[in-house]
């Protein structure tokens, strides 16, 4: 918008004088406040899962989940170091739950998602229901729901955590508490939420004030089936291949109020057309190999690697093998505030 304003000795003296009164001149900062396009400190980046995995195994020798509360390595965006942010509005980390671990029960206003990367059968208990998890499952911890995790299997389990921590921090709306007992009582059978709400049926007078999906584990087996069905009819989108959005069956909206989640399939050899959007996105392939061009950088990826696409950066994807990619962003928030924009460069 505006050009930098000239400095004069009189102006500088004036700025110093008003500075003492907690005042500053808009004309010196306007160009940085209102930019013609998104101008983010968030950078494109990839973390290789193998490297994270070996650091996490090392962390497993250093601290228990109980002492750590959660044994997590935070994915810090290189442009936002020290802020515990993977993008400007979202947090991500990789969590390790080893056999015998208990991550004690707590709850907080921040909403969390888990995307399972490795291991089978460790559990999380959310609001009284325990769910066993497998690679590719998308599991939700709603705002203020009690949750604890454990692993009674013989293998370590790794998952990706996504939380709306920076959003909640921005709004100064954080509340949290620990439970008296390390593990909450299990009050409902495993699979109860899915059985009740995951079948296109709701109790006739169903009312809820929650904007989070009552289905809190979206198993990969069903997600894969949905992709497979659509694949047979070749519903390819030039920018996305075949991209599905996880939904809340009560409202049809995103599964979580603050974080949009997606699963996408790219057939072998598919090259997407250029796309950009205002929601900086975290992507995690769960099957397949390929590469993504983000701005002027190319990132090679395989299963469980995690990469970030900043707001308004041009992106294309290319799959060497059939690839399935999970992703999440703050799109639900931007859409509700009429701020979301996307730009398709499809011919």
Interacting residues toward ligand 1HN by CB under 6 A = 70, 72, 93, 95, 103, 108, 110, 112, 147, 149, 161, 163, 165
- Whether 88 contacts 167, CB under 8 Å: no
Distance CA 328, CA 292 (A): 16
For residue 12, the surrounding DSSP H or E stretch is: helix 9-19
Among 273, 272, 317, residue whose Cα is nearest residue 294 = 317
Q: Looking at beta carbons, which residue is closest to ligand 1HN?
A: 70
Taking the least distance from each CB to ligand 1HN, the nearer of 164 and 279 is 164
- Whether 213 contacts 140, CB under 8 Å: yes
Taking the least distance from each CB to ligand 1HN, the nearer of 92 and 294 is 92
- Whether 249 contacts 213, CB under 8 Å: yes
CB of 83 to ligand 1HN, least distance (A): 13
CB of 103 to ligand 1HN, least distance (A): 6
CB of 148 to ligand 1HN, least distance (A): 8
CB of 147 to ligand 1HN, least distance (A): 5
- DSSP assignment of 266-328 equals E-TT-BPPPEEESS-EEEEEEE--EEEEETTEEEEE-TT-EEEE-TT--EEEEESS-EEEEEE
- Residue 261 backbone phi and psi in degrees, to 5: -125, 145
Taking the least distance from each CB to ligand 1HN, the nearer of 93 and 219 is 93
Taking the least distance from each CB to ligand 1HN, the nearer of 98 and 110 is 110
Taking the least distance from each CB to ligand 1HN, the nearer of 95 and 281 is 95
CB of 286 to ligand 1HN, least distance (A): 19
Taking the least distance from each CB to ligand 1HN, the nearer of 105 and 324 is 105
Taking the least distance from each CB to ligand 1HN, the nearer of 227 and 256 is 256
CB of 139 to ligand 1HN, least distance (A): 10
Distance CA 53, CA 59 (A): 10
Which tokens sit at 236? 């390819």
CB of 236 to ligand 1HN, least distance (A): 36
* 18: helix, strand or coil: helix
CB of 37 to ligand 1HN, least distance (A): 31
* 80: helix, strand or coil: helix
Which residue in the block uniquely carries the two structure tokens 């010196």? 28
Taking the least distance from each CB to ligand 1HN, the nearer of 93 and 241 is 93
Among 149, 147, 117, residue whose Cα is nearest residue 132 = 149
């Amino acid at each position: 918008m505006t050009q930098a304003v000239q400095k004069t000795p009189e102006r500088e003296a004036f700025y110093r004088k008003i500075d003492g009164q907690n005042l500053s001149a808009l004309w010196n900062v306007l160009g940085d406040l209102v930019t013609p396009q998104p101008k983010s400190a968030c950078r494109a980046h990839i973390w290789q899962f193998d490297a994270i995995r070996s650091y996490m195994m090392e962390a497993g020798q250093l601290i228990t989940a109980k002492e750590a509360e959660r044994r997590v390595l935070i994915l810090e965006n290189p442009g936002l170091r020290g802020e515990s942010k993977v993008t400007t509005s979202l947090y991500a980390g990789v969590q390790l739950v080893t056999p015998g671990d208990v991550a004690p029960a707590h709850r907080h206003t921040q909403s969390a998602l888990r995307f399972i990367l490795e291991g089978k059968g460790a559990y999380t208990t959310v609001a009284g229901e325990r769910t066993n998890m497998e690679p590719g499952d998308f599991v939700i911890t709603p705002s203020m729901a009690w949750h604890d995790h454990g692993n009674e299997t013989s293998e370590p389990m790794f998952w990706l955590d996504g939380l709306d921590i920076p959003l909640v921090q921005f709004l100064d709306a954080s509340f949290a508490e620990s439970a008296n007992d390390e593990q909450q009582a299990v009050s409902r059978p495993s699979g109860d939420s899915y059985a009740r709400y995951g079948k296109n049926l709701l109790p006739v007078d169903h009312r809820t004030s929650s904007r989070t999906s009552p289905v809190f584990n979206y198993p990969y087996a069903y997600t894969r089936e949905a992709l497979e069905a659509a694949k047979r009819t070749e519903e390819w989108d030039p920018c996305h291949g075949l991209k599905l959005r996880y939904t809340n069956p009560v409202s049809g909206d995103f599964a979580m109020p603050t974080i949009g989640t997606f699963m996408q399939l790219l057939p072998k050899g598919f090259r997407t057309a250029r796309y950009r959007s205002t929601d900086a996105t975290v992507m995690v392939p769960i099957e397949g190999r390929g590469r993504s061009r983000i701005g002027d950088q190319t990132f090679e990826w395989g299963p469980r690697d995690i990469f970030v696409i900043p707001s308004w950066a041009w992106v294309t994807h290319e799959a060497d093998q059939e690839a399935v990619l999970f992703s999440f962003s703050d799109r639900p928030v931007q859409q509700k505030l009429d701020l979301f924009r996307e730009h398709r460069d499809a011919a």
